[in-house]
Chains A and B, each alone.
Chain A
Amino acid sequence: AQSVTQPDIHITVSEGASLELRCNYSYGATPYLFWYVQSPGQGLQLLLKYFSGDTLVQGIKGFEAEFKRSQSSFNLRKPSVHWSDAAEYFCAVGAEAGGTSYGKLTFGQGTILTVHP
């Protein structure tokens, strides 16, 4: 069964500092990996995704993530955080086509990001 772990429940950074949010996944084959962001009372907005190819993927709002198969990780990074980045971030894994779980996303528990001025 697929699973996702986000070890950090809450992270606080200062505006302008760099950010790394951790994500570890468990999946038997090549996973489809996603990062979503959720502001209070809102739905989920896609930041970036990894399906195959280049292991460093770029997303919106200056975010990037690196897929490391050997570590089963897909960490999210941003070089300089803005106050508007304060939100909750979710890592998710999706199953490949033809699998029994195709169409289902499994999410981590989320990481709440607080940004200090």
Chain B
Amino acid sequence: KAGVTQTPRYLIKTRGQQVTLSCSPISGHRSVSWYQQTPGQGLQFLFEYFSETQRNKGNFPGRFSGRQFSNSRSEMNVSTLELGDSALYLCASRASGLGQETQYFGPGTRLLVL
């Protein structure tokens, strides 16, 4: 099975712009979670989607949003970018059902905000 894929892998934006990141989960996985990784704050949970519904959300401002499509692919959007949004954004997918708590991560999208 192909793993989790994320596009683009690298992105450079300027302050005030918006950005959309994409994640394709492992085939058959219906849950997609997003995480932000920075040197200062480490790995922080952004949100989780399951069957096109946001089930859980981390402590991030409303500028961070996401959605999931019927094929389980997910996008996250960051509006009005700030310098502090520079980070590695990781997507993870998980199968549904009891005992399927393991999240499998993609390679990440490295976002640089100038």
Q: Which residues of A contact B104 (CB under 8 A)?
A: 46
A102 touches B55 (CB 8 A): yes
**Complex-state Cα separation, A14 to B91, whole angstroms:** 34
A94 touches B101 (CB 8 A): yes
Q: Which residues of A contact B110 (CB under 8 A)?
A: 41
Does A62 belong to the interface (CB within 8 Å)? no
**A109 with B45: in contact, given A43-B107, A102-B55, A103-B94 (CB under 8 Å)?**
no
Looking at chain B, what size class is its interface with the partner chain? 20 to 34
The B interface, classified by DSSP as helix, strand, loop or mixed, is: strand
Complex partner residue of A107 from B4, B43, B55, B107, CB under 8 angstroms: B43
**Complex-state Cα separation, A51 to B101, whole angstroms:** 9
CB distance from A48 to the nearest CB of B (A): 10
Q: Which residues of A contact B55 (CB under 8 A)?
A: 102-103
Report A67-103 residues with CB < 8 Å from chain B CB.
90, 92, 94, 97, 100-103
**Complex-state Cα separation, A29 to B58, whole angstroms:** 20
CB distance from B40 to the nearest CB of A (A): 10
CB distance from A65 to the nearest CB of B (A): 14
A-B contact pairs, 5 of them (CB 8 A): A32-B101, A45-B105, A104-B33, A105-B35, A109-B42
Contacts A42-B108, A44-B105, A103-B55 aside, 6 further interface pairs with beta carbons under 8 A come to A51-B99, A94-B103, A103-B33, A107-B43, A108-B42, A110-B42
